[in-house]
Structure 1
Amino acid sequence: MSFYHHYLLEEDYYPVVRFYYYKEWRDFKMPVHSHEAIEIMYVLSGHCLIEVDGQMLKLKKGQFIFIDGNIPHRLQVEPGKTCRMSNIEFNFQQLQTVFPPFKDIVSEHNPLKLLTENPHSYLLFHDSCDISQCMHALILELDRKETNSVFTQQLLLSQILIRMAELAAQEQDTPEQNVYIQKSIEYMHRNYDRDIRVKDVADAVHLHPGYLHRIFKKSMGTSVNGYLINHRMDKAKELLTRTNITITDIPHYIGMNSQQYFSTIFRQQTGTTPKQYRKESRFRDYTETTGEHFIHSVNQR
């Protein structure tokens, strides 16, 4: 079953939880598997790795992942680490209830409508609203067994899907605001003068390097490493133009320990050597200054 199947918007179907848990995992490695149920995994504390559809993702507290039905995935908690999670698995069924069917809710809520129109094998979120509370309330209701209410379950599960759709719409409408991209850029701006690599950036924002590379390139049009190099070259140009730092020392000021590598990259980006760039920039500054002085002197006459 898929969350995006067309018949869910054509007939009266309802999301129904088939499996759920609160659990703390320790030193755990699940085999890759798939199932018909759609799954939401929420990290309450610690962190874990989730391999899904060929991608390895690192989730920390406050993040959750939505996995469509029949998508291969597995959970892994690294040795010596723990991860406490809440989890629900659900599919869609036809029910006897006065609660509105899924198709009616979709028709009344534009973000949910947009979500159903854009299929993804999985979606990764940072919870900025109340999904954790919604899942907690739903699991408590399910635990009531004999006294639980189908109507209440539908209400709580629909609320989770609505909030998730709103998060997805926010990320789609303002991709530059994506928290991972922002934090990656901030980390690189703070640490460009150190010998950092893509893995360091990914660790700082708690994502797998491969996943960070994919979302960063999609949003910024360049790779993480490409952005870092460009930023370092911009800083090198400032140092060449505004300071008397020796050219051999400049690589160390921008986190590049190899003079030869620095010179090669600089020439690729500017078409000139660092020495020529400094000479030409200072000549431009001199001619602009003397030119302004000459014009001022002529006007005074």
Structure 2
Amino acid sequence: MKVFSEPGVLSRSERFFSTPSATARRLFYYVTRVGHYYYDARYNFLDSCDIAHLESHKNLFLTYVRSGTMYFETDQLYCAERGQIGLVDCRRPHHFYTKGDAEALWIHFDGANAAAFFEQILAFRGGRQVLTPPADLRIEQELAQIISGLRTGDMTELDRSQRIYRILCALLFPAQSGPDRKNDAIAQAVKYIGEHLFESLSVEKVADAVSLSPSHFSRLFRSTTGFSPHEYIMLHRIDEAKALLQSTSLSVKEIAFRVGYRSEVNFITAFTEKTGTTPTRFRRNTL
């Protein structure tokens, strides 16, 4: 439907509401309102207004800026320009505004583990709530399809849920669809870790093997795999240990050294923490 009464939102803008079913609330990602807005300099949305207290607003907000600049005040001030995405938890203090003409596609959404996705996406990016996705991730197109589906009524809740999930995954791991050079570096790092698992491995050593600085390598590795390099090495060692526990008669101490631990105690502690059982019990239960 057309928007006629929101200051700073031009009349050619559209907004649609969606009330999720009980099934969607339990199992899916779902939208509660979506829009394609054209703004002018008067737009100034405060979380103290009546709209901000509606259930359809008090969830997660994602907007893709097609033109102009949008400003978001949460814990700090962010600005999203053309091609960028703003991601905001509207259950927390927030303020949106523009200083001139702008255009954006946006959705309010919730459900499933959406809040956990939100927190993890921000955690991977140092809390920054404005993101620049690679163009080939098709996030703009997914948002446009969701809005179109609400306009025509021919998109199911399941389809909307799947599109939201794809968007969240793309924001969580953008480097997986990024330039080949980045993916090649991480593929080389993973191969290097596998080939040197029994050695003393550090982030600096692996980064040097793929000709990246440790800080850049750590950021790139996390954004591509979802793990820090240290966590990946630990989990890979534990996976190798599981295989050896199940398929060999090597002692726990021998396996600890075989997968890169220099202390049997440290190995048992790490294995138990990550699997919920000791190496001995794991071996007994899988034989």
Q: TM-score, normalised by structure 1?
A: 0.41
Structure scoring higher RCO (CA < 8 A, sep ≥ 6) equals 1
- The higher radius of gyration belongs to 1
Q: TM-score, normalised by structure 2?
A: 0.43
